[in-house]
Structure formats: C-alpha cells, structure tokens
Amino acid sequence: MTQMTTLSGQPLSSLMFGTMQFGGKADADASSEMYAMCRAAGINAFDTASLYTGGASETLLGACVAAEREDVFVATKAAYDQPATDANLRASVDRSRQRMALDEIDLLYLHRFDDTTPLEETVASLAALQSEGVIRHIGVSNFAAWQVMKAQAIAAQHGTRIDAIQPMYNLVKRQAEVELLPMAESESIAVFPYSPLGGGLLTGKYASGGTGRLTEDHRYGARYGIDWMPGTAGALAHLADTRGIAAETLAVAWVARHSAVTAPIISASAPTQLGPSLAGLNFEIEDAVYAEITALSPTPAPATDRNEEA
C-alpha cells in the first residue's frame, strides 16, 4: 500500500473526520470547534467534497487547516454534477484549491463513477494533475470493485495507481465485504469508509423518536428504511448499554476492526454529538464482542456460488 502521510511526514490517524456538515447544519463556529476537538484527540486527516454544502465545507475546512497545513491531510472529491472530462476535473480541482487556499490536495477522489465519459480520459486527467503537483494521491468513491480495477489498469499505463477507495460501510450496509474490501487488501489500496453510524441509525436515537437525516432526507430514508435495520440498531444499542459503552463508539470500532479498513470517516453536525465517535479512536474491540456485533446483521451473499461444496 502506498504510504500516506501528512506533508510533514506524520502517519495518518486511525480515524478521519468528514466535514459534510460544515457550512450546513454546522455553522462556522461549530465547524471550528469540531475541528479543534478532532485535532485535540489526535485526528490529522479530514475529508470534504466540492459539492458539500455548496462549497462552504471546503471553505471552512481550508480556514481550519491554514495555520497547520503541513501537519494535516486533506482529501476532497471532484464535482460529479458534470461529466468527468479533463476540463471539468481541472475546473473542479481549481475551485477546491481556491476555496481551501491549498497549493496541493493530498487526496482527490472521483466522487462517483461516470459512465458518460471514457474512463481513459478521466484517469489520464488525474494522472496529469498528480504529475503536475496539484494532487498527491488518487482515489475513487462509490465505485464497484470492477470499476476500481478498470481504473487501476488505466492508471498503471500512466505510471501511477489508485491509492484509496471510499465506500459506504457500516453494520447495516455490508456490501463492501463481498468484493471491495477483499480487493483492497489484495491490491494494497487504502480504505476510508464513510457513514459508520448508518446516517445516525446506529446511534439508537431514532428508536426513541429522534429526528435527523433518516427523517429529513428521502435518500437516507430509503437507504436505511429496510425492515430489519431498526432491529439491528436496537440490538446494538442494547449490547452497548450492557457494557457501559456508547453505541456510536461500538459502531465506529466495528468498522475500524476490519483488516482492510485504513480509517473510518466519522462526522457530526454539532460538537455535542462528536464525543462518542471520537472515543472510537482508541477503543480496541475484543474478538468476542466483534463477533457478537457482526451477528446482529445479515452477512451479504458471497460473490461466487458453489460455496456449499467447500
């Protein structure tokens, strides 16, 4: 695996913080406070995207890292509202750099797979941006395993590689276990999973009538509205309560425990929400507890059949 470090050479922390709420539910003061909480806890890696909160996320993150740029790793994602052509990617990266006041972006992801643009053009553009010193590492988010490997083959033709993937992964969304995570381990690709709390479902707040993205955003409602998922969330909350641990801490630690995972991306919309997820930074989940949590949700079907014959 390509070793990723901050510009000053520090290894990345075992958790990354996602700033999706910066400039949205989290105003400038709340964003700054959460950034400071993360830094105090030892987190030195932060994730954003061109399209998060209309660009405000990048702007606020840039202000936060300005005084310590060399010691902080910054990842962002190219805008996906236009085809991933060379011209559009360059325009997106230029906007991101201007918002964050950065000469170089540590990790640039393709936010989604674009089937309207030849992947050869897209990857060639990323390779050129890297050779020009505009970005340090190349990543892809929300790609299927075959799409990652297709991009990897093209990248190799340009003398570079896909260094990281960012899939959705949590206790109730385990599809990544089928092909993405084994692929990443086999090919030494870093894995930074997002949504370890399942959009807030795994905090247990919705069982007590709480509101949030699952009740306010139809996309999250559809994503986590499958009939068995609330039961899994409730069982996790009960397991956590019996051990005197926050459900958020267990949910984050469960994701981090997978051997393919480099660093889960935690997030919050307010400083008061952040503590339990931050606690996952140094929480080592025991084998028996990991197995007990894993058994709370269905294991996804394998990628190939005839396993009964093994």
**In the chain, domain spans:** 1-166
Q: How far is CA 24 from CA 38, 53, 55, 104, 137, in A?
A: 19, 6, 10, 25, 27
Mean pLDDT for the stretch of residues 231-256 = 97
Half-sphere exposure of residue 150: CA atoms within 13 angstroms, side-chain side? 13
Please report where in the chains the tokens 């690709």 appear, as a residue.
189
Region for 188 from its dihedrals, namely left if φ exceeds 0, alpha if ψ lies in -120 to 50, beta otherwise:
left
- Rounded-to-integer distance, Cα 170 and Cα 166, Å: 12
Query: Does residue 310 carry a pLDDT above 70?
Result: no
Mean pLDDT for the stretch of residues 232-254 = 97
Measured in degrees and rounded to the nearest 5, phi and psi for residue 92 equal -65, -45
pLDDT at 179: 98
- Chain-wide mean pLDDT for the chain? 95
Share of the chain above pLDDT 70, in %: 98
Half-sphere exposure of residue 206: CA atoms within 13 angstroms, side-chain side? 22
Selected residue with higher pLDDT from 226 and 124: 124
Tens digit of pLDDT for each residue in 251-282?
999 999 999 999 999 999 999 999 999 999 99
- Residue 67 is classified by DSSP as G
* 1-166, CATH topology level: TIM Barrel (3.20.20)
- Rounded-to-integer distance, Cα 174 and Cα 298, Å: 8
- Interacting residues of 132 by C-beta distance below 8 A, sequence separation 6+: none
- Residue 11 is classified by DSSP as B
Q: Note the pTM of the prediction, 2 decimals.
A: 0.96
pLDDT at 59: 98
Mean pLDDT for the stretch of residues 30-55 = 98
